[in-house]
């Protein structure tokens, strides 16, 4: 009986090791070159001046998030962060609506806080089972895995409170992850943040993780926040 149990455990460990190797090789192949001036557009309020700025030559690239709640037809969107919501990726259906099916995707895996404990224990297996099953592979340029217990924001920052890790099981918002991603890109010089006002979430209210703004203030040296014309999380 003990031999059978040892054999089963050995097989499981070998499979987990193989899944890790497959995942690592997949991520090594992702390549995405960025311009110097990035405009990040959150899903919050946008003024007419914000919309003019987004469509101007101040932005080498315009990146948006998930279902892009404040986007109007014809506005720029050069890339999209799409988040795993447990069943599919939030924002995939919007691509056809706005005729942007061919723009690059950065996928964020691990958005369902209710699976926190189990995914923390078995994150390589969950990631393999979920990997790319609904993402258009030809446009998915990177996968950011926030189920990894070592995931944090601003990898090159040495003065970040709490080592730039989330305090709550709900983890970081897509916006914070996107800002951190571009801060870590060496060729990016400026990050303009629009439609984002960093209202903190509460039990009954959607919003940002409580330490996202303090992390940004400490670590995002490239960021320029454009103040929203009203103080709401959504448009």
pLDDT band at 117 (very low <50, low <70, confident <90, very high): very low
d(CA 127, CA 42): 26
pLDDT band at 226 (very low <50, low <70, confident <90, very high): very high
Closest CA to 193 of 66, 40, 69: 40
Most confidently modeled of 28-37, 104-113, 131-140? 104-113
**Burial zone of 218 (CB within 10 Å; 0-12 exposed, 13-18 middle, 19+ buried):** middle
- pTM for this prediction: 0.78
DSSP bridge pairs for 13: none
User: What pLDDT is attached to residue 230?
Assistant: 92
User: What pLDDT is attached to residue 20?
Assistant: 55
Closest CA to 82 of 94, 70, 98: 94
User: Above 90 in pLDDT, residue 216?
Assistant: yes
Which range has the worst mean pLDDT, 51-55, 201-205, 216-220, 226-230? 201-205
User: Rounded to whole angstroms, what are the CA distances from 39 to 4, 176, 180?
Assistant: 57, 14, 13
Q: Any residues with CB less than 8 A from the CB of 99 and at least 6 apart, and which?
A: none
Domain spans in the chain, listed from the N-terminal domain onward:
31-225
Q: Any residues with CB less than 8 A from the CB of 152 and at least 6 apart, and which?
A: 160, 163, 164, 165
User: Above 70 in pLDDT, residue 115?
Assistant: no
Closest CA to 178 of 46, 53, 41: 41
Backbone angles phi, psi at 123, to 5 degrees: -60, -35
More confident residue, 39 or 118: 39
User: What pLDDT is attached to residue 222?
Assistant: 97
d(CA 183, CA 40): 12
* Rounded average pLDDT over 67-92: 87
User: What pLDDT is attached to residue 21?
Assistant: 53
More confident residue, 137 or 99: 99
Express each pLDDT in 196-207 by its tens digit.
988 877 766 676
């Amino acid at each position: 009986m003990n031999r059978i149990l040892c054999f089963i455990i050995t097989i499981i460990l070998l499979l987990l090791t193989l899944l890790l190797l497959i995942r690592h090789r997949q991520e090594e192949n992702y390549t995405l070159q960025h311009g110097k001036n990035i405009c990040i557009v959150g899903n919050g309020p946008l003024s007419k001046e914000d919309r003019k700025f987004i469509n101007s030559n101040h932005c080498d690239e315009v990146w948006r998030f998930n279902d892009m709640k404040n986007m109007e037809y014809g506005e720029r969107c050069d890339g999209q962060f799409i988040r795993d919501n447990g069943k599919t990726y939030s924002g995939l259906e919007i691509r056809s609506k706005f005729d942007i099916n061919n723009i690059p995707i950065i996928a964020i895996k691990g958005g369902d806080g209710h699976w926190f404990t189990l995914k923390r224990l078995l994150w390589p297996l969950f990631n393999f089972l979920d990997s790319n099953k609904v993402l258009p592979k030809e446009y998915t340029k990177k996968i950011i895995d926030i189920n990894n217990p070592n995931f944090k924001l601003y990898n090159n920052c040495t003065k970040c409170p709490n080592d730039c890790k989330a305090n709550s099981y709900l983890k970081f918002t897509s916006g914070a992850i996107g800002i951190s991603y571009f801060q870590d890109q060496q060729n990016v010089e400026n990050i303009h943040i629009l439609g984002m006002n960093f209202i903190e979430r509460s039990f009954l209210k959607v919003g940002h993780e409580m330490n996202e703004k303090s992390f940004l203030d400490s670590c995002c040296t490239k960021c320029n926040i454009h103040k929203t014309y009203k103080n709401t999380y959504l448009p």
